Amino acid sequence: MNEAKSPFSLRSYGAFVRSANSNKEALKGSWKEILAGAFDLTPDQQAALDKAPEASSREVQKQFDAAYAFVGKGGKLRTRISTRSDGTHGLKFLMDEEAMTADASGGHSLVCCGADCKDWGVWCKDPPQ
């Protein structure tokens, strides 16, 4: 029996990250497929994933790969929500300070969204403030 997927929200994303801390396999593979498999995405959210700029997609994939390796070494992920000057929010993985490097989890957000992070479609063009 398949478990029902939750809609993507700040709360369900946080729950996903907490569960990934005990199951690193949840972070393995294409980040777009991971999100589509973990959450009941709206058509607009799925379209935003499909339209993610290639450069942004590569940066997010680096975060997932780094998070997978980090959890595999016993690390624990957290999430960070940062607010940009235009009022949108960015979701990021946070690892311990030593693991936070520019190529792993430094500046690129997973998605940029409104206050409840249900309305995707604005991809970060600069790091959230």
- The residue with greater pLDDT, 87 or 8, is 8
Q: For 31-60, write each residue's pLDDT tens digit.
A: 999 999 999 988 888 888 888 778 878 888
Q: For 59-118, write each residue's pLDDT tens digit.
A: 888 888 988 998 999 988 887 777 767 666 666 666 654 444 443 444 456 666 666 666
Is 25 strand, coil or helix? helix
Please enumerate in sequence order all residues whose Cβ is within 8 A of that of 111, keeping only pairs 6 or more positions apart, or say none: 48, 90, 91, 117, 120, 123
Q: Residue 116: its pLDDT value, please?
A: 61
Each domain of the chain, given as residue ranges in start order, spans 10-113
Structure tokens at 37: 């498999």
Does this model's pTM top 0.85? My answer is: no
Q: Residue 109: its pLDDT value, please?
A: 62
